[in-house]
Amino acid sequence: MSAQTAGAGRDPEAIDVDVPALRRLLDGKYAGVRDLVRENLAEHASILDDAQEMSVHDFRERVLEVVQLMAETDQTGLGFPAEYGGGADIGASIAAFETLGFGDLSVSVKAGVQFGLFGGAILQLGTKPHHDAYLADLIRTRLLGCFAMTESGHGSNVQALATTAEYDAEAGEFVIDTPDDRARKDYIGNAAAHASHAVVFAQLVVGGESRGVHALVVRIRDEDGRPAAGVRIEDCGPKIGLNGVDNGRIWFDGVRVARTSLLNRYAEVTEDGRYVSDIENPDRRFFTMLGTLVQGRVCVGGSAINAAKVALAIAVEYALHRRQFGNPGSGTEELLLDYGMHQRRLFPLLARSYALHFAQERVAADLHEVFSNIADEGAAELARRSLEARAAGTKAMGTRHASRTIQECREACGGAGYLSANRLGALRADIDVFTTFEGDNTILMQLVAKGLLTDYKDAFEDLDQLGMVRFVASTAVETVLERTNARSILERLRDVVPVGERVSDDEPDAGLLDHEYQLEMLTWREEHMLSSVARRLKRGIDDGGEPAEVFSLAQDHVIGAAHAHVERIVLEAFIDKVQALDDGPNREALKLLCDLHALSCIEDDRGWFLEHGRLSNARSKAITAKVNELNRRVRPIAQQLVDAFGIPRELLRAELLEFSGS
Amino acid sequence: MSAQTAGAGRDPEAIDVDVPALRRLLDGKYAGVRDLVRENLAEHASILDDAQEMSVHDFRERVLEVVQLMAETDQTGLGFPAEYGGGADIGASIAAFETLGFGDLSVSVKAGVQFGLFGGAILQLGTKPHHDAYLADLIRTRLLGCFAMTESGHGSNVQALATTAEYDAEAGEFVIDTPDDRARKDYIGNAAAHASHAVVFAQLVVGGESRGVHALVVRIRDEDGRPAAGVRIEDCGPKIGLNGVDNGRIWFDGVRVARTSLLNRYAEVTEDGRYVSDIENPDRRFFTMLGTLVQGRVCVGGSAINAAKVALAIAVEYALHRRQFGNPGSGTEELLLDYGMHQRRLFPLLARSYALHFAQERVAADLHEVFSNIADEGAAELARRSLEARAAGTKAMGTRHASRTIQECREACGGAGYLSANRLGALRADIDVFTTFEGDNTILMQLVAKGLLTDYKDAFEDLDQLGMVRFVASTAVETVLERTNARSILERLRDVVPVGERVSDDEPDAGLLDHEYQLEMLTWREEHMLSSVARRLKRGIDDGGEPAEVFSLAQDHVIGAAHAHVERIVLEAFIDKVQALDDGPNREALKLLCDLHALSCIEDDRGWFLEHGRLSNARSKAITAKVNELNRRVRPIAQQLVDAFGIPRELLRAELLEFSGS
């Protein structure tokens, strides 16, 4: 295919995409908020244009400046109550944060720490006195804070944190201590330079009795910016990326705070030293507190997906300008995007970005729903657990996708992609840790599996994998499966499309573009993996295995089942979106992307489908051929599909594109 | 499996690895050279310990300092003739460069530019006057140079370079010009700060006639370090990594150099302005010149494989110290390395590092052989073409492996892996561009495929993919296949192990650990992919397709065939190594790794094997189960397997490990 026949706009068979309408569809309910953030990012882009050339100190100061400028436009306070100057709209605040993913990710992380983690903890774990004391100031960045949870020796296992907050009843104060270096707070954003306050997670000790992990507001710097008495702060130093964020380490040595510093929505210590909580079970209490922080995960997932879009926009545009090697017929070199391999590198990732966009839209809407109705706490609990699992899965999938996509785009732009002056370099470096923070992806996928295998309402007895193994071992496999809605979807689909009757090897590609077929494949895989992993765990325990050993042997299987689940719900969200659209070119374009996404998912795991007799050899090969064919159809509309993301030109830093034209 | 039963040294079934002997085996013939480089790296490690905290300027100066200190020990001159102070041992020079992969990669790249690219071009493309003028000084770093090949608009397509060197017969000089910004030299290492000279690749114009790309030595800075007259130099600015290397851009405006500046081993311009070359065909001449630079690819591949080993050594040690989540039975948290998923993340990559090590050893030995017998140029040509393909494949596979391994290790170490203070951060950033430089991996794999499909001796007519398509279209598929030695291996193996008689679904794992079975699988895949891609290209042309379109549609298939070939030769190298060893624990350990590597390769591509009827469903599942089982057997000797790499402690920057212990 030469550039002449394949070029956008010159192919009479190309879908005539309506870019503004597609952008409106992607922007959805919060288009206005997204545009406000786009404008802010574009306006302040020049402040950070030379970020990679600055000293770490200057870069941090500039990032703070941008965050403060953004705070002036109210975008950063959208999720807070109106009485403190907030927007009282959680969905809007998520949309704003997601859109920050188009810009420098140091800004997005800095804002996430200040408003999402620090502000969110005070809002969700605190009560009115804390709100009155801090919210108005922190929304406006007059008060800067950090979120001191992670410790050097305790990353994902928050229940094992070792920092202590012991109540001194005589003084009516908590005394905060770091018992050893493994308990120092580590990687804490906003701590090395800017935060005056921290929400500190520590083991609460009252009357000599440990009450588990709780959060307190602690002043860590005095008015002059020096560490407060008893507080030691160290800079984590340079990082692979995100150097505009000041990560630090904190040690506490007998630091005293008032009794009212305890964020006491779920538990209280009375003046006379009694520990009081409405939630009796300590595990349940812990996970209820942690659950309020789910918004952070939703935001991280959303901004990662948007960062992937930026990379794709750059790589597609580059490949539509860059020519490589001669086409003797035409006398010019071929456009990179006309190479089949280049299409294979980029287009399935483009399709997946659309899929994840719609899955993210759904999890954000769920979160808005659940958290806007906080009064009804009892009834909403199951919805919350389900939300947590969905948020964990979308975060893991979205951040992994972003890492992979940005890396692929970097490589697809060759050496030019390696320079810091081009956004891909910084993006690659910045995105890297997204798979780790706000919950390591492996741990999050275990959380998803646990939710599926144990049913959400039983999730509080013992969160770890061993509890899950014991629970599954005590339950019938059928019971496990009835709880997932994979089964009911399968049954519904089987009524519509009877398996095995449709596909013969004479027509191996029949029905591949049928969304019900695609969804059935992913749902069948999910159900099969869940039931087989449940059986395997049961068998392991029945055979006298230790839970830890049984889990370790099956861990890849457990995570595989979670992955199958998340891929199914992502595809479902995409299909629902396509089916809700009116006929027209944009529906056709989204249907094309949805098909490409679905078939790429099946192709990526065709080994599994073949092993389990769900694909014939001929059909498996037909899927690969169909993916190539769909890529060819995406080619002439690739530019429109990335234009619809609505990424301001200022944020693409087009130096990469400057000399790639012919 | 609890830490107690799985811990190294406490498992009575663990293989009793002899670490020093295994290290000697890995170090091979050039153990002495490797130890010299290790000592140098360890001794100078402190110079770069705070590299990530320095300004770019200071970092560059320190890297130069280290390179200069290393030059004092003769290690950097090993590949040059003795009369100029070199070691006259190409194999030794490759071993030295490979070992630099254990250290800061800016040092390795800076050394690669100075001695490998700049020095190598003068040695290989120049003649005695050039050797006399430059070699002694450049070996000792009294003269610093760069390799000005790549242009902004011309990355992989070197034949399309646009810089010109026009001969002015009256003055007896060449005049070098950069016609436009797409022709500026770009990403040139050593150019932004240090090089006084450059080997410049340009279109030679003699008597108004263009003679294709040739290389000339050009002075780019004067004695005071200012750009020479007519030369403009710009700094590429910060990069994702490798910031200790000063990459720059160069423009030439009427820069005059003497006629003798042309590196004239393969072509000459006489004083009176006649162009003379022993190689008549201009394509053949071009590829002969380029072929002399193959050593750079071999070195890059080798150092990338060693960088991957560093990451694995850190990640394994971290996972043997770091505990995460409780084992209620034992009262302690589990070691990360006892988790099945963690083993799956790291051990197949560890096995692949061993496999690639031995494949690299072979390509380095081939290169030594071919280049140590340069007198016999005619006869050696086929050997050279074959070496170029092997070098391209090993470079592509080794650098891709390194990128993937270092990323996986970074993620396996969580947030700690993201800090620059820990080597994983810098490694991750530094390795990223290895997949691009010294030949983009996609282009290199096409080169491999072309060699296989067209037979090496015909490679000079037209290197690009369109020439390949035309060639294949004109040849019988059987002829294509007879040229690969895949067929003869298959025939030999079929005599030994008749297909289909050995495996029944009653015993789906029978023979999986049989090396002949493993090799047969990879060889069968290679032959099948090559023949099917050849048929597809023929059919495309027979059906009246344009070569460009035919190639584009089949490009992923072409690259897949090349990948299958390289995986087969890598496995072959590993198996040969194992089979040559005496019985004993080290043979047992290497056999275990070789089995893990082979079965991981098959598992990774089991979709393909299933599609093509080469795996039954039951056997495919048995392979996955066997990979897990082999991982369990690697677990107790994992530390010994990374210790055998012999990476000096100083280079592991153990801050990561400091607080991970219990």
Please write the tens of the pLDDT for every residue from A277-322: 999 888 888 888 888 788 999 999 999 999 999 999 999 999 998 7
Virtual CA dihedral for B11, B14, B16, B17, nearest 10 degrees?
A: -120
Q: How many CB pairs under 8 A join A and B?
A: 232
Which chain A residue has its CA at the smallest distance from B241's CA?
Answer: A418
Asked if residue B8 has pLDDT above 90, the reply is no
Task: State how far the Cα of B78 lies from the Cα of B91, in Å rounded to an integer.
Answer: 9
Task: State how far the Cα of B495 lies from the Cα of A199, in Å rounded to an integer.
Answer: 71
Which chain A residue has its CA at the smallest distance from B660's CA?
Answer: A153
Segment holding B255, helix H or strand E:
strand B255-258
Residue ranges of the alpha helices (H) in B439-584? 441-454, 465-473, 477-483, 486-496, 515-542, 547-580
- Interface with A, mutate which of B239, B240, B327 (most A CBs under 10 A): B240
Asked if residue B329 has pLDDT above 60, the reply is no
Q: Which of A438-447, A643-652, B316-325, B374-383 has the lowest mean pLDDT?
A: B374-383
- Point out the residue among B239, B334, B612 whose CB comes nearest to the CB of A418: B239
Q: Can you give the pLDDT at residue B460?
A: 47
Residue with tokens 């709880």: A483
A421 contacts in chain B (CB < 8 Å): 236-238
Asked if residue A511 has pLDDT above 50, the reply is yes
Q: Can you give the pLDDT at residue B494?
A: 63
Task: State how far the Cα of B553 lies from the Cα of A498, in Å rounded to an integer.
Answer: 34
- Point out the residue among B420, B433, B464 whose CB comes nearest to the CB of A239: B420
CB A231 within 8 A of CB A250: yes
- Interface with B, mutate which of A617, A659, A660 (most B CBs under 10 A): A659
Q: Which of A201-210, A313-322, A495-504, B174-183 has the lowest mean pLDDT?
A: A495-504
Q: Write down the mean pLDDT value for chain B.
A: 88
Please write the tens of the pLDDT for every residue from A216-238: 999 999 999 999 999 999 999 88
Strands A197-206 and A185-188: unpaired
Segment holding A564, helix H or strand E:
helix A547-580
- Cβ pair B552:A420 closer than 8 A: no
CA atoms within 13 A on the CB side of B171: 10
- Smallest CA-to-CA distance from B297 within B94, B119, B135, B29 is with B94
Q: Can you give the pLDDT at residue B335?
A: 86
Which chain A residue has its CA at the smallest distance from B238's CA?
Answer: A420
| CA distance to partner chain A, nearest, from residue B608 (Å) | 7
Q: What is the CA radius of gyration of chain A?
A: 26
| CA distance to partner chain B, nearest, from residue A165 (Å) | 22
Asked if residue A329 has pLDDT above 60, the reply is no
- Cβ pair B436:A53 closer than 8 A: no
Please write the tens of the pLDDT for every residue from A420-460: 777 888 898 899 889 888 888 988 998 898 888 876 555 44
Which chain B residue has its CA at the smallest distance from A439's CA?
Answer: B414
CB A367 within 8 A of CB A292: no
- Point out the residue among B240, B419, B442 whose CB comes nearest to the CB of A428: B240
Amino acid at site B29:
K
SS3 B353: helix
Q: How far apart are the first and last CA of chain A?
A: 18
CB B603 within 8 A of CB B315: no
How many residues would you count in chain B?
662
Q: Can you give the pTM of this predicted structure?
A: 0.91
B150 contacts in chain A (CB < 8 Å): 415
**Longest CA span, chain B:** 90
- Cβ pair B420:A240 closer than 8 A: yes
- Smallest CA-to-CA distance from B392 within B328, B343, B424, B435 is with B435
Segment holding A212, helix H or strand E:
strand A209-219
Residue B331 neighbours by CB distance under 10 Å:
7
Task: State how far the Cα of A530 lies from the Cα of A51, in Å rounded to an integer.
Answer: 47
| CA distance to partner chain A, nearest, from residue B165 (Å) | 22
- Smallest CA-to-CA distance from A81 within A127, A142, A14 is with A127
Residue A244 structure tokens: 């505009």
Q: Can you give the pLDDT at residue A376?
A: 56
Q: Can you give the pLDDT at residue A322?
A: 76
- Smallest CA-to-CA distance from A218 within A279, A283, A149 is with A149
Task: State how far the Cα of B395 lies from the Cα of A455, in Å rounded to an integer.
Answer: 49
A153 contacts in chain B (CB < 8 Å): 659-660, 662
User: Using CA of residue A387, residue A391, residue A397, residue A402, what is the dihedral sign?
Assistant: positive
| CA distance to partner chain B, nearest, from residue A354 (Å) | 24
Q: Percentages helix, strand, coil for chain B, rounded to the nearest 5? A: 60, 10, 30
A603 contacts in chain B (CB < 8 Å): 607
Strands A164-168 and A197-206: parallel
Q: Can you give the pLDDT at residue A461?
A: 46
Task: State how far the Cα of A475 lies from the Cα of A470, in Å rounded to an integer.
Answer: 9
Which chain B residue has its CA at the smallest distance from A425's CA?
Answer: B240
B1 contacts in chain A (CB < 8 Å): 548-549, 552-553
CB B235 within 8 A of CB B192: yes
Name the more confident of A153 and A380. A153
A437 contacts in chain B (CB < 8 Å): 415
Q: Can you give the pLDDT at residue B154?
A: 77
CB B251 within 8 A of CB B177: no
- Point out the residue among A238, A339, A466 whose CB comes nearest to the CB of B328: A466
Q: Which of A381-390, A441-450, B127-136, B172-181 has the lowest mean pLDDT?
A: A381-390
CB A138 within 8 A of CB A119: yes
Residue A54's pLDDT band (cuts 50, 70, 90): confident
- The stretch B193-205 carries a mean pLDDT of 97
Residue B295 structure tokens: 């050593």
**Burial, B486: exposed, middle or buried (Cβ in 10 Å; 0-12, 13-18, 19+)?**
buried
Which chain B residue has its CA at the smallest distance from A6's CA?
Answer: B549
Q: Can you give the pLDDT at residue B450?
A: 85
SS3 B212: strand
Residue B332 pairs in a beta bridge with: B327
CB B648 within 8 A of CB B42: yes
- Interface with A, mutate which of B163, B184, B552, B626 (most A CBs under 10 A): B552
- Point out the residue among B236, B329, B464 whose CB comes nearest to the CB of A325: B464
Q: Can you give the pLDDT at residue B660?
A: 44
- Cβ pair B156:A556 closer than 8 A: no
In angstroms, the Cα distances linking B634 to B402, B412, B559 are: 20, 17, 32
Q: Name, in order, each residue with C-beta under 8 angstroms of A323's C-beta and a sequence gap of 6 or more.
A: A3, A332, A333, A334, A335, A336, A662
Which chain A residue has its CA at the smallest distance from B629's CA?
Answer: A553
| CA distance to partner chain A, nearest, from residue B414 (Å) | 6
Please write the tens of the pLDDT for every residue from B574-605: 999 999 999 999 999 999 999 999 999 999 99
In angstroms, the Cα distances linking A248 to A65, A117, A122, A240, B3 are: 19, 15, 21, 15, 32
Residue A558 structure tokens: 């457990």
Asked if residue A378 has pLDDT above 70, the reply is no
Which chain B residue has its CA at the smallest distance from A629's CA?
Answer: B553
Segment holding A33, helix H or strand E:
helix A31-48
Residue ranges of the alpha helices (H) in B126-206? 128-130, 136-139
- Point out the residue among B237, B425, B555 whose CB comes nearest to the CB of A421: B237
Q: What is the CA radius of gyration of chain B?
A: 26
Which chain B residue has its CA at the smallest distance from A184's CA?
Answer: B659
How many residues would you count in chain A?
662
- Point out the residue among B156, B238, B428 whose CB comes nearest to the CB of A240: B428
CB A653 within 8 A of CB A421: yes
